[in-house]
Each structure stands twice: as C-alpha cells, then as structure tokens.
Structure 1
C-alpha cells in the first residue's frame, strides 16, 4: 500500500512537471506567434531591425540580443541611413563583409545552442549588460545562403542548452529571413525609383522628397540648411561637338566629383539635364560658398 502511495505521488509529481512544461511551451509559442505577426507587419527595414533588437529582448527577458548582417557593399547600411536609423547608435547591430568574418558557429545553417565562450562569441555581442552564460546563435538563411545571424544571450546557464529542441527557433528564423529579404527588396525598389540611371546618384524625385524633410528637420532643431544648384556651362556645345555619349560621360564624371566633395550628411541629386542640386545640412552661407568654390575648382582641374 505504501509502495502504491509513493508511486502515485511520484507519478503526480511527474505529471505536474509535464503540465508545467506544456504550459511554458504554450506560453512561449503564443509569444513567438505574436512576435511573428509583428515582424510580418513591419513596413520598413529599420522597423524590422528595431523589433528584433528591442522587442524580442523585452518580450523574452533576454540579457542580450544582437543581429549580424552580411553587407559586403554597404547596401543595408545605406538603406538604414536613408531611413534615419543611426547605425553607430546600435552597437548590437553588427555588419560583416562575408560569412568568413563570423565565428564558425554563427555561419552554420542550423541554430547552435550552448555555453557562452568569451573568446569565440564576444564579437557577436557588443552590448551585453550582464555576464552571459548561455547563448543561441540563429543563422538567417535564404536559398541555402547565410545572410546574417540573430544572437540571443542569457546569464542563465540553463536557458540555452546544447541538444535542446530548436523547432520553434528554426521556424522563427525562417520568418525573420523572409521578412529581411522582403524589406530589402522593397528598399531596392524604392532606391531604383529614386536613383538617376545615368549617374547613379539621387534623382529629382528623391530631392523633392528630401528637401521638405530636411527643411522640417532644420526648423525642429533650429539648424541652418543651405542649397547649391550646380550647372555645367556650355553642356549643349559638348553634346553638339562630341556627341551624346561623351556628354553622358561628362555628366557621370561631374557627378562623381560632386560626390567626392560631399559629407555623409549632405544630399546630392541630379536635378535635371546638366543641373545638380546639393543640400548642405547645418551649413551657413559662408561655408556653402566655400564648398561651391571648392567644387568649381575640382571640376575645372579635372579633364573631361
């Protein structure tokens, strides 16, 4: 009789453990599904990244979350800067030229869970507020190619254990990878529609959008905004004398020279024909005149 009672109590304890585990898994699944819906609804690349870096960490009580993105041609960073997301203010957003620059665990095609190795994993967590004990490295893969890695860190050594099931995490990373690729494609389409095909700089449409935004920003922060209009003298004569192909070459060369003179905060666009427009942020008229003269001298000194 005593043996039966002990067996019953043991079975009841095991049942409670299983029920508690099932409830935790159900809660985790519901939170993951809620996050997935938010990610699928992200309207921009910057919104998606903010969700991954901040919302995920808060909702799942993680000590560290970082995102590594493969960005060999600075494309993603350029898109984020256009959306006014300051990459320098997000140390947990890390860019690599290729997979070879990442630790081997992070470049795998499958999630890796286990103990935190300071030597190997510290480069993946630039902003860990607590000493990490366990981590989950979740590769972001599209068409068999690693495009990044979402890294989760916890001070609890039991949070991410090698050998644990990764089905839910694999599903989440598949959704994140798809969302990332979709938002990047949207940004590429927008960029194509706002870029001058000949000179590969911003076009008139882009400039007209940005000038309103920059005027409003300058008013809000009480900053000075200057604008230069640059026109190539005798351009019609160049076309008539040397042909339109050489005229196009001149436009591309001048656009390149203008770009070299710009700061990262300045905005250059082909305004139309042989005209270019430049917005100089936080620049007074004297400084704008100096920049204009520097541009004139650079163009004058360059044989076309």
Structure 2
C-alpha cells in the first residue's frame, strides 16, 4: 500500500511540475507575442504622438511596467521638426551630456533604488523600486534612452535579460530616424520661399493638429491673422524687389520675436498668420502691439518711408472648433474663418 501511495504522490508532483512548466511556456509565448506587438507599433508609428499612445503604453500594459519613458537626444534631433509635443508626458528631450554621464558603456543598465540614478532620469515625485534603461544607438552614437521603471525592487535585478530591450532599442533607432527625416521633408515642403515662414497648406494642417489636441487633450490655442494695409505702396514706390525684401525681413523678425513653439506663416501676398499653442487669448493686446512694432522695424531698417496699417483677426480654440465638421476643418471651413476674422475688422 505504501508503494502505491508513493507512486501516486510522485505522479502528482510530476503533474504539478509539468503544469508549472506549461504555464511558463504559455506565459513566455504571450510575452513574445506582446513584444512583437510593441516592436511593430514602434516601426509603424508616423509621429511621436503615435509613440506616446501606442508602443510606450503597450509596454506598460502588456509587461506590467509602472512607467515607461523615452528620452531623446536634442543634439541629434531638432525638437521643432517633430512639432508641438509638450503635451506628451512620456517623451522627453534632453541634452547629450545626460546620455554620456549615465551610459559609461553603450549597454543596458538595471538596478534597484536610486543609488546610481542621475537627476535627468529620476522620476522625482514618483517612487520606484527598480529600473531597466537601454541606450538607443545609431552609428555608435547614443540618440536616446528607453527607460522602464517598476515599483517592485526585485523586478529588474542583476539576472534580468537584456536581449529584448536591446532588440527594441534598435527598432526605436530605425523608427525615430524615419519619423524625423519624414517630418523634416514634410516641413520643408510647407515653407513659403519668400518669407521663410510656413505656407497656406501648412496653415490648414497645423490648424487641424491644434484642433485635434484641443478636442482630445484640452490644449488651448490662439489663431491670429495680420493683414498688412497698403503693402502695394512699397512696391509702387520702391519696386517689386523691395516688396519681396519687406516680406522676407518681416518673416525673419517674426521668427526671432515669437516663441519657438509658435507657428508663423504667410497666407497670400499680404496676410500672415500665427498659431499659438497653450494660449487663451489673454495676451491679445501684447501680440498685436508686437506685430506692429515688427512692421515699423522692417520699414525703418530698409528706409521705407511708408506708413503701413494693419488689420488683425483673432479666434481662440472654442471659436475655431465651431467651424469644424466631424472634429476636422476642411479647406472651405478654414477660408470661412479667414474671411470672417478679417472682414469684421476692415
């Protein structure tokens, strides 16, 4: 009887062991599939907003990671090229020295606590128990860092495998460069040659992007139109080249005097536009005064003895959204905005 019991006991333990092994196999298969989903999401992303909403969130959801951040080297990538991203809380641009100080070797690091942490990578108010950071490398240069944080001190220990995060970091380097180059070409095709500011096509697209952020994230914005009165006087008195120089110098001073995040462009011969993210109309008088001063400065610097007037149109995010259909602005809707803003002030 004791032999029978031993056989049953041994088989029972074997069964439990087999069930445990099968459970681990299924768990690893699920993680592998999840990893492929994250990889694919990075490679298919068209902008940094896609990064924020898809692969970085997927990492947290699929692998139960408490916080995932992507740091980007602003010495390698011009932040302006990516457009307005201040509202994305999991993508951070930082200086090259941050990566040089932390990554003494170009390899992933993991640890518990904050002993070897640097300020730029510290979550500050959020407590975490352990972390796994991996450099994003392109041509032997660190262009970013994928940072995973866990509240569990034992989650990322010395036995953590680096294979998956190395592979993922490589995919990010490929994807990030693709997005950057694509955005750069996109912006170049939307620049007005004379003023070196954005053109009309860019205005349509940037307005829709601003509207999308307002409707989805509650990010306010202001839209200004500045119509220069009697620009023809300069052309008639000083010639067409002088008129083009006025437009070129005006665009240059606007780029110098407004915020880097502000979108400045030209709509037609004598109309400029300004899209100001994170603005609620409270600085309207200051903006109008600044533009008038810019016009005066350009005339003075070029010796144009001409008194130019200006018509200003302004609308905030709620007003712009009233022209939208299905949360989008069509070209006709935008032209209606322009006509309404300028005609009521003529």
TM-score (norm 1): 0.75
The answer as to whether partners of 1:113 and 1:163 remain within 8 angstroms in 2 is no
Aligned residues: 291
Q: Shift in Å at residue 30 of structure 1? A: 1.4
Partner of 2:151: 155
Partner of 1:294: 293
The alignment status of 1:111 with 2:114, answered yes or no, reads: no
- Whole-angstrom CA distance in 2 between matches of 1:276 and 1:173: 45
- Whole-angstrom CA distance in 2 between matches of 1:251 and 1:209: 23
Residues 136-176 of structure 1 show CA distances to partners (whole Å, capped at 9, x for unaligned) of 11111223221100100112232212243222222222222
The alignment status of 1:126 with 2:129, answered yes or no, reads: no
Q: Residues 13 and 236 of structure 1: is their aligned pair in 2 closer, same or farther, counting only changes over 3 Å?
A: farther
Residues 53-80 of structure 1 show CA distances to partners (whole Å, capped at 9, x for unaligned) of 4332222211221211011377235523
Partner of 2:333: none
The answer as to whether partners of 1:79 and 1:187 remain within 8 angstroms in 2 is yes
The alignment status of 1:23 with 2:26, answered yes or no, reads: yes
Residues 169-192 of structure 1 show CA distances to partners (whole Å, capped at 9, x for unaligned) of 222222222222212222112111
- Whole-angstrom CA distance in 2 between matches of 1:199 and 1:237: 20
Q: Residues 295 and 106 of structure 1: is their aligned pair in 2 closer, same or farther, counting only changes over 3 Å?
A: same
The answer as to whether partners of 1:215 and 1:225 remain within 8 angstroms in 2 is no
Counterpart secondary structure, 1:234:
helix
Q: Which of 165, 169, 184 pairs up with 1:169?
A: 165
Partner of 2:251: 255
Q: Which of 226, 229, 246 pairs up with 1:228?
A: 226
For the aligned residue pairs, the C-alpha RMSD in angstroms reads 4.1
Counterpart secondary structure, 1:140:
strand
Partner of 2:335: none
The answer as to whether partners of 2:47 and 2:82 remain within 8 angstroms in 1 is no
- Whole-angstrom CA distance in 1 between matches of 2:213 and 2:55: 27
Q: Which of 43, 48, 72 pairs up with 2:75?
A: 72
Matches within 5 A, 1:36-75: 36-72=39-75, 75=78
Q: Which of 276, 279, 297 pairs up with 2:274?
A: 279
Partner of 1:32: 35
Residues 25-75 of structure 1 show CA distances to partners (whole Å, capped at 9, x for unaligned) of 222111111222222332323212332443322222112212110113772
Gaps of 5+ in 2: 304-346
- Whole-angstrom CA distance in 1 between matches of 2:33 and 2:207: 44
Q: Residues 11 and 117 of structure 1: is their aligned pair in 2 closer, same or farther, counting only changes over 3 Å?
A: farther
Q: Shift in Å at residue 108 of structure 1? A: 4.1
The answer as to whether partners of 2:264 and 2:273 remain within 8 angstroms in 1 is yes
Gaps of 5+ in 1: none
Residues 87-107 of structure 1 show CA distances to partners (whole Å, capped at 9, x for unaligned) of 4x62x4321231x22364446
Q: Shift in Å at residue 127 of structure 1? A: 6.1
- Whole-angstrom CA distance in 1 between matches of 2:180 and 2:102: 25
